[in-house]
Chain A
Amino acid sequence: MISITNKHLSLQDIMCELEDNSAGALSIFIGNVRNRGRSGNVSEIHYEAYSKMAEEKMREIENEAQTKWGIKKLVAIHRIGNLKVGETSIIIGVSSEHRHEAFEACKYIINNVKTRVPIWKKEISKDSQKWADGFLLE
């Protein structure tokens, strides 16, 4: 399941999506808003996406992970909107037969979501707002 959403991310729901009796391993990455950014203290982050293209790119990355590691199930959900410190912005979940594939696929997917998917974040503090530096799409 691939999704861009403005709703709270539920780890419980994602665990249910990943259930597969043939999978002996399940790897999950959770990205949270932290209280420090490149510009100093952060109180919240604004996330914005080109949702249609973002979901297409995430499906492309999913297919690559499927080809490389033969994973069983995958969930990649990115939240958009204004998120406060401690809130979850992204969850990547992968189930596979053995742990190696689950670890590697999870790492591959989060690294590629960060560099290839049209999503942007702006760090907001009490005194300033700054769009994060990022990666120009290729």
Chain B
Amino acid sequence: MSTLGPVDYALLIADLSIEVCALVILLKKRALSQHFTFVLFLCASIAVGIGRYYVLAADGFTSNTYLYFYFFSDALLIICLYFVLMSLYMHVFSDMNVGKLVRAGAVLLLAGTALISYYTVASSSDRLVTKFVMEMSQNLYFVGVVLTYVLWGAMMKLRENRSRVMQLVLSMGVYFSAFAGSFALGNLYPDLVIWRYVSHLMVTWLPISWAYTFIKVTEDARMATSRVVAPTQ
């Protein structure tokens, strides 16, 4: 059983406290009604963080229990992030009444990615459940990147000018792309030690950026997408 060092504990506690602070800020800014999925993700992330801490303390970093718990809880968090992304789609397309289409598309994409991941792992020699979940997480993050690109493209086309929605979508793009790359690296080189620390730092990105957006960017703030895409022109 491998135990954690002081750096690991400090990072775990930092992650948790940042998430709790972000949750408090979002609740104070009355995001529960309009941005319920954001609050849901933060609650799930806090619960997963506490769960991981207990599993780590009981079984150690290299135990199978922690490995299973880590990847299954991560898959759960990505599904929550999909809900966040879908809620952003709903915000952007709110005038078009395409809520049902967005929901159906999201379910189809989730199922499709899970199937492709299953097929990928089933065709390889080591048919491990953890391998499947890791493969699925990596693919889901990448599908998240693609979906965020599509959403950003639609926002530019529709001349969406709500600053808050813009910053939330872009922060999701940063998060998805960072994790897709990191998971793919972890998949190819599972023994990379740096991955263990970098992922902790990346986890803090979403709560910090959301808290900043909800504090500093008001609901009625407006900005042209052209100023974000090509500010120097």
Task: Tell me whether A and B are bound partners.
Answer: no
Q: Chain B residues in contact with chain A, CB under 8 A? A: none
